Amino acid sequence: MRMAETLAEGFPDLSQMTVARQPHWRRWLAAAGILVILAAVGRAFAGGQIEWSYVGRFLTAKVILEGIINTMVMAVLAMAFGIALGVAVAIMRLSPNPVLKSVAAGYTWLFRGTPLILQLLLWFNLALVFPTIGIPGLWSLRAVDVMTPFLSALLGLGINQGAYTSEVIRAGMLSVDAGQYEAAQAIGMGRLRALRRIILPQAMRVVIPPLGNEFIGLVKATSLASVIQYPEVLHNAENIYYANSRVIELLIVAGLWYLLVVSILTPLQMLLERRFARGYLQAAR
């Protein structure tokens, strides 16, 4: 055997040499091609029949601003409702109790299995089924008064969102190591306390990216509430173009607002992710 002190010949010292840059000519070509296509599309739109001055004028119109605020209010409330429902249903789904389990599975099946727009229309037209709502003999209200566009949209979007969110939360709970639940039990925690203190906080870390996805989807799904007269941004844009016939211009206005809102949500999600990554930063990166 050779001793380690004498190294073999024929392997030069590379530490003083630099690595040459690769010429990425294919990337340059692709980028040039894309620029040409973008220029062509841009030229087509510039010369098309779009009155850009209308876009600028209506972008900050009062009705449009009210619309986007209504959109955001509805998205946030429906998401909060959806998360609350989703957590409860996920816990039921994973409980050892067969009754709770079936109720949770049935809920998910029903509300994931029918189109959202159909559910919204059902809630809005609930008065056709139940003309009055209340406790018989004590008090009652006319369903038409209760089922306003706002409440119908909130119930429709929130309950539908809950069905999807419950699956996301359940996936997050399943991703937590079984040893965590045992450790929680070993220090005397019951099931619900272990879920609240130990399992769910760890599940949140995994759940936030898909939940962000769900929320972005929900922001845009609020536009479906336009069919039940909820004054969100698309509904208000439509009302304007019914009057002035500037259809494309107002659709562009609404589209720009959705883009802006979604663009703001992405960094917010990053902040949340960082909050729930406590204790993982070293391990994960």
Nearest residue to 127 (alpha-carbon basis) of 110, 145, 112, 114: 145
Residue type, 256: L
Near other proteins by CB under 8 A: residue from 61, 73, 133, 191:
191
Q: Which is nearer to other proteins, 119 or 202 (CB)?
A: 202
Judged by beta carbon, residue 21 or residue 278, the one nearer other proteins is: 278
Q: Which is nearer to other proteins, 23 or 188 (CB)?
A: 188
Q: Which stretch binds other proteins (CB under 8 A): 68-76, 152-160, 174-182, 226-234?
A: 174-182
Residue 184, both tokens: 């929680």
Shortest distance, position 94 Cβ to other proteins, whole Å: 15
Kindly tell me which of 136 and 179 has the beta carbon lying closer to other proteins.
179
Residue type, 121: L
CA dist., res. 269 & res. 235, Å (int): 27
Q: Please say which residue, 31 or 192, places its beta carbon nearer to other proteins.
A: 192
Answer yes or no whether residue 8 interacts with other proteins by CB under 8 A.
no
Which is nearer to other proteins, 201 or 255 (by Cβ)? 201
177 near other proteins (CB under 8 A) = yes
Least spacing, CB of residue 271 vs other proteins, in Å: 17
Q: Does 44 bind other proteins (CB under 8 A)?
A: no
Burial of 160 (0-12, 13-18, 19+ CB in 10 A): buried
Quote the least distance from Cβ 174 to other proteins, whole Å: 16
Task: Tell me if 186 contacts other proteins by CB under 8 A.
Answer: yes
- 190 touches other proteins (CB under 8 A): yes
DSSP letters spanning 42-53: HHHHHHSS--HH
Piece in contact with other proteins (CB under 8 A), picked from 36-44, 83-91, 127-135, 181-189: 181-189
CB of 282 to other proteins, least distance (A): 5
Which of 28, 109, 242, 280: binder of other proteins (CB under 8 A)?
Answer: 280
**Among 30-38, 87-95, 178-186, 244-252, which window interacts with other proteins (CB under 8 A)?**
178-186
Distance CA(215)–CA(83), nearest Å, equals 10
Using the minimum distance from each CB to other proteins, give the nearer residue, 166 or 202: 202
Determine which residue in the list 188, 243, 245, 267 makes contact with other proteins, applying CB under 8 A.
188
Q: What is the CA radius of gyration of the chain?
A: 28
Give the nearer residue to other proteins in terms of CB position, either 95 or 148: 95
**Can you give the binding site for other proteins, defined by CB under 8 A?**
177, 179-180, 182-191, 193, 197-198, 201-202, 205, 276, 278-283
